[in-house]
Amino acid sequence: MPFEELLAEDGRVEPRDEMPDAYRRTLVRQIAQHAHSEIIGMQPEGNWISRAPSLRRKAILMAKVQDEAGHGLYLYAAAETLGVDREDLLDQLHTGRQKYSSIFNYPTLTWADVGAIGWLVDGAAIVNQVPLCRCSYGPYARAMVRVCKEESFHQRQGFEILHTLSHGTPAQKAMAQDAVDRYWWPSLMMFGPPDDDSPNSAQSMAWGIKRFSNDDLRQRFVDMTVPQAEILGLTLPDPEIRWNEERGHYDFGTVDFTELFEVIKGNGPCNAERMAHRVKAHEDGAWVREAASAYASKRSSEAVA
Amino acid sequence: MTSADYVLGLADDALVSAQRMGWWISRAPQLEEDLALANIGLDQLGQARSLLSYAGTMLDRTEDDLAYLRDDREFRNVWLVERPQTDFGVTMARLLLFSAWQRELYAALVTSSDATLAGIAGKAVKEVAYHLDHASQWVIRLGDGTDESHSRMQAALDAEWPYLDELFEGAPELRPAVLARIEQVVAEATLAVPEVAPVVGGGRHGLHTEHLGYLLAEMQHLHRSHPGATW
């Protein structure tokens, strides 16, 4: 079926189907950026594996960071169905030609940040990603179904970390509040710029890659999160948050996107460190990857002989 | 009857090894290996938790009391697992020695008259068989890969070998089977069995390298900074 008809019927585009080059390029960029975000996202939480305050929390955190590596694998595999390869995408990440989510350029300063990332950052990711399970490109949509299931598990774990802290000692509660204070606004920025300043959105909507606007998703996240903050007994750092009966939504303050644009430009608190960590891991592992492929080709030439 | 000290030895081996393994997550040579090393670390952490809980029943302490509130002189792990490791070849050499020993140890403990220990061993023996297989495959690939990987893998094996002996303290009967397995892998990897003298270790008696103190300082500081808190 021709591409336009398939989209009109809300069908799924599969790897062998005809598709416009621009559609393919947009998907590669978006899926690669998503995969890169998963693997860079291992760093801020991985930062607390060695210091997790109980063995149970250590096990949960190790499993969570491992899940992120798994998400990276599904997503690189989805991107590969579009005719690119993982090595090449990693190279684009390492040379700064492809981006990852700016949220991972913020530091995890305390244990409560692990909870805040689970609750807020994974919560925002879920709101962004659930509609992607209906994305017009089949392999991406199917990868997102698995990712979303695991993300909602992570979000509950993050909530539970903060719930335990906010019902713990005064120092623990203060730690939880501080983490929420620092992660709230960056989480709202995860939905991207406001609709009237989002140049690629309209085309992505027309292609069925994007299903809802940035501002609609941001509102959905605020509506979901405010009642949860009340259960936690924590305050969101925005005095303008209040229920608006007429709109049927929570009103909230204006997001200051100048900070987001600085972080995207590379001036966030951890941009340089995240990239250096990633590039070092890749370079330090080069001899291992070379050895594995040398070994594999020796074996296959033996098999031929 | 099993002594708490004996169980702590096995628990601390697994815990300290898991702590070192956790470092690799986000630093592995490829994404598949981030997953595999996390898996191995999680298995070891699970073994440590079961064993610490069991020791805790004898000592009236929780797994977290034992992990977070003992000082290094009270830890009972061998030296093999506690030294820093930031080279993939070293990690695989160490895992080969450690898991080959654990494999024989847990296989023997499955028939222990101590039912709790036998139960823990029954689960662990399957896990460490996978660790041993993973380490073996990497030692072989790296040994028989490129010239560079061959010399790095040999150097890693030479560096870990002096710490092998300590594993057999109190159970010398495991040595032949463990060595046979390791030597088979070393041969297939086209490497040489190191001829180096064993180090005089003392981990089972609470005498450690200088490295353990730093590992514990990092692992324990948050827990100890909030006495009595729940996490």
In tens, the pLDDT along A157-186 reads 999 999 999 999 999 999 999 999 999 999
Among residues 63-92 of chain A, which lie with CB inside 8 Å of chain B? 63, 65-66, 69-70, 72-73, 76, 86
Backbone angles phi, psi at A54, to 5 degrees: -145, 160
H/E stretch holding B79 reads none
Chain A neighbors of B32, CB-CB under 8 A: 73
- Nearest CB to B145: which of A63, A171, A294? A294
B135 touches chain A (CB under 8 A): no
Share of residues in chain A with pLDDT > 90 (%): 91
Angle at A225 between CA A223 and CA A230, to 5 degrees: 110
Tally A–B CB contacts below 8 A. 143
Chain A neighbors of B28, CB-CB under 8 A: 281, 285
- Residue B208 to residues A178, B94, B212: CA-CA distances in angstroms? 38, 17, 7
* Angstroms from A173 CA to nearest CA on chain B: 11
B140 touches chain A (CB under 8 A): yes
pLDDT (mean) for A237-246: 98
Scan for tokens 């494999």, then name that residue: B103
Contact A49 B25 (CB under 8 A): yes
Give the integer Cα–Cα distance in Å for A122 and B162.
46
B116 in Cβ contact with B54 (< 8 Å): yes
The 8-class DSSP code of residue B207 comes to B
pLDDT value of residue A199: 79
The residue among A295, A297, A298, A299 with the most chain B CBs within 10 A of its CB, best to mutate, is A295
Chain B neighbors of A57, CB-CB under 8 A: 231
- Nearest CB to B219: which of A50, A171, A288? A50
Chain B neighbors of A164, CB-CB under 8 A: 230-231
- Nearest CB to B222: which of A51, A70, A72? A51
Please check the confidence at residue B2 and state whether its pLDDT lies above 90: no
B28 touches chain A (CB under 8 A): yes
- Taking alpha carbons only, the member of B122, B10, B53 closest to residue A56 is B53
Which tokens is B177 given? 């089977």
Which tokens is A54 given? 């109980």
Please check the confidence at residue A2 and state whether its pLDDT lies above 90: no
- Sign for the CA dihedral angle at A98, A102, A103, A108 comes to positive
Contact B25 A46 (CB under 8 A): yes
B141 touches chain A (CB under 8 A): yes
Among residues 207-226 of chain B, which lie with CB inside 8 Å of chain A? 218-219, 221-223, 226
In tens, the pLDDT along B66-96 reads 999 999 999 999 999 999 999 999 999 999 9
pLDDT value of residue A201: 85
Q: A290: nearest CA in chain B?
A: B146
In the chain, the amino acid numbered B88 is F
Give the integer Cα–Cα distance in Å for A292 and B73.
41
Q: What is the band of A282 on the pLDDT scale with cuts at 50, 70, 90? A: very high
Among residues 259-298 of chain A, which lie with CB inside 8 Å of chain B? 277, 280-281, 284-292, 294-295, 298
Average pLDDT, chain A: 95
- Nearest CB to B49: which of A55, A286, A292? A55
A37 in Cβ contact with A99 (< 8 Å): no
A160 touches chain B (CB under 8 A): no
A242 touches chain B (CB under 8 A): no
In tens, the pLDDT along A201-233 reads 889 999 999 999 999 999 999 999 999 999 999
Give the integer Cα–Cα distance in Å for A179 and A65.
19
pTM over 0.90: yes
Collapsing DSSP states into helix, strand and coil, what is residue A47? coil
Share of residues in chain A with pLDDT > 70 (%): 100
In tens, the pLDDT along B100-131 reads 999 999 999 999 999 999 999 999 999 999 99
B22 touches chain A (CB under 8 A): yes
pLDDT value of residue A1: 80
Contact B26 A39 (CB under 8 A): yes
What lies within 8 Å, CB to CB, of B126 at 6+ separation is: none
Chain B neighbors of A285, CB-CB under 8 A: 28-30, 33, 88
Q: What is the band of A305 on the pLDDT scale with cuts at 50, 70, 90? A: low
Domains of chain B, CATH where assigned: 4-225 (1.20.1260.10)
pLDDT (mean) for B142-162: 98
B166 in Cβ contact with B82 (< 8 Å): no
Contact A66 B38 (CB under 8 A): yes
Task: List residues bridging with A244 in a β-sheet.
Answer: A249
Among residues 47-66 of chain B, which lie with CB inside 8 Å of chain A? 48-49, 52, 63-64
H/E stretch holding B71 reads none
- Nearest CB to B141: which of A43, A165, A295? A295
Give the integer Cα–Cα distance in Å for A197 and A216.
14
Share of residues in chain B with pLDDT > 70 (%): 100
- Taking alpha carbons only, the member of A222, A19, A225 closest to residue A135 is A19
* Angstroms from A52 CA to nearest CA on chain B: 7
Distance of CA B130 to the CA centre of its chain: 14
In tens, the pLDDT along A127-163 reads 999 999 999 999 999 999 999 999 999 999 999 999 9
A64 in Cβ contact with A108 (< 8 Å): no
pLDDT (mean) for B147-154: 98
Contact A59 B45 (CB under 8 A): yes
ipTM higher than threshold 0.95: yes
Contact B34 A111 (CB under 8 A): no
